[in-house]
Structure 1
Amino acid sequence: MPGPIERVWSYLTESEKRGKWLASGPMELKAGGKAEFRFDHSSLSPTKEPTPERYKAKAAGVTLEIRVLRCDPPRLLAMTWMGTIKEGGPKEDSEVTFELEPKGDKVKLVVTHSRVRDRALLLGIAGGWHTHLAILADNLEGRVPRPFWSTHEKHNRDYAERLKGL
């Protein structure tokens, strides 16, 4: 990602900037801190597309409760995503970790989403992160953000093929 690291960090932690590529909402930047992520995928790009049928129930947006596990600005942010919905089953917590490392005028950003035990959910999450991070890159590069849903669907198909054996 284009740097400096503080700029990329601000897109992870500041509601207005985070809302341009992932989800808006307040966040307490400390271990044990609470956050609320309000996802509105239709607002991430000026290109408007219909919501795919399987996501229509969430078309108006989704709010996720977050608990910050570790915070070491501007290099590490780890959080529990409360109640990740397991297809056909109970809600489970999963974890997301962002690791940032300066590399010249760029920033290496590693995102790890762990404790996802459902294959269908894993595929959607993988495609979702790929799409959200592409939109983050668009914002940081000063490009018009790509359309969310068609990009997401393409990545979902790609991951379904890559992870066939799981």
Structure 2
Amino acid sequence: MTTLAEFGAPGALIEPTTFRIERRLPGSIERVWAYLTDSELRKLWLASGVMDLTVGAPFELVWQNDRLVDDMGQRPADFGEEHRMDSRILLVEPPRKLVFSWFETGEVTFDLMPDGDGVILTVTHRRLSGRSGLLSVSAGWHAHLDVLAARLAGAPFGSFWDRWRALKEDYARRFPE
């Protein structure tokens, strides 16, 4: 049985406001692409929201983290049951690259590369603001990618919020102030 501890190397700051994290995921590049672009599949690990995969197209991401896994743990007090964010498609190269805006200031890039019977997914989040945002987003990408890896592998996942808190503390130690 795969456990959460077997997933997820930490991400890294590659510039002061740019976080990058990589995962090797099971399955074809088309399957992983679908989990990035199809709202019904994406909501199983990150956030729902229908995407028109056309450069310039707006879309909304809707997080409902309390519904991702069976054991969510205790949600942090400063998080609501739902979070919404307006975004815009910036670049689409199916099934290898997707770039979209993060609020009005940031940018997220998903790069996919076939690797044997799996796929290397690299997530690069640019223009993060403030230390608190950096730590929350880094822990968030890490935890959400762990959920994606578990979903694709058909493996169980532990407590989401407990994992997120532990990751946030770990990233606070890893990233200098």
Question: With structure 2 as the length reference, what TM-score do the two structures score?
Answer: 0.83
Question: 2:39 corresponds to which residue?
Answer: 15
- Bigger CA drift: 40-49 or 120-129? 40-49
Measure, in 2, the Cα distance between the counterparts of 1:118 and 1:48.
Answer: 27
8 Å contact kept, 1:138–1:146: no
Q: Does residue 67 of the first structure (1) align with residue 88 of the second (2)?
A: yes
Measure, in 2, the Cα distance between the counterparts of 1:105 and 1:48.
Answer: 30
3-state SS of the aligned residue for 2:108? strand
Q: Does residue 32 of the first structure (1) align with residue 56 of the second (2)?
A: yes
Write out aligned runs for 1:74-85 (5 A). 74-83=95-104
Write out aligned runs for 1:78-93 (5 A). 78-83=99-104, 93=105
Alignment: residue pair count? 153
Measure, in 2, the Cα distance between the counterparts of 1:26 and 1:34.
Answer: 10
Question: 2:16 corresponds to which residue?
Answer: none
Question: 1:107 corresponds to which residue?
Answer: 119
Measure, in 1, the Cα distance between the counterparts of 2:142 and 2:73.
Answer: 18
Residue type at the aligned position of 2:77: E
Measure, in 1, the Cα distance between the counterparts of 2:62 and 2:134.
Answer: 20
2:148 to 123, 129, 136: 136
1:120 Cα shift?
Answer: 1.1
8 Å contact kept, 1:135–1:146: no
1:43 to 49, 64, 67: 67
Measure, in 1, the Cα distance between the counterparts of 2:57 and 2:30.
Answer: 20
1:141 Cα shift?
Answer: 0.2
- Ranges in structure 1 where 5+ consecutive residues have no aligned partner: 84-92
8 Å contact kept, 2:45–2:148: yes
Q: Which has the higher contact order (CA 8 A, sep 6+)?
A: 2
**Superposition RMSD in Å:** 1.1
3-state SS of the aligned residue for 1:54? coil
Q: Post-superposition, which runs of at least 4 consecutive aligned residues in structure 1 deviate over 4 A?
A: none
3-state SS of the aligned residue for 2:102? strand
Measure, in 2, the Cα distance between the counterparts of 1:72 and 1:42.
Answer: 31
Measure, in 2, the Cα distance between the counterparts of 1:94 and 1:78.
Answer: 11
1:155 Cα shift?
Answer: 0.5
Residue type at the aligned position of 2:91: R
**What's the CA shift string for 1:8-38, capped at 9, x where partnerless?**
0000000111000000111111211121111
Q: Does residue 162 of the first structure (1) align with residue 138 of the second (2)?
A: no
8 Å contact kept, 1:44–1:145: no
**What's the CA shift string for 1:75-124, capped at 9, x where partnerless?**
000000124xxxxxxxxx21000000001111000000001131110011
- Ranges in structure 2 where 5+ consecutive residues have no aligned partner: 1-24
Question: 2:20 corresponds to which residue?
Answer: none
Measure, in 2, the Cα distance between the counterparts of 1:146 and 1:41.
Answer: 14
Residue type at the aligned position of 1:111: V
8 Å contact kept, 2:74–2:162: no
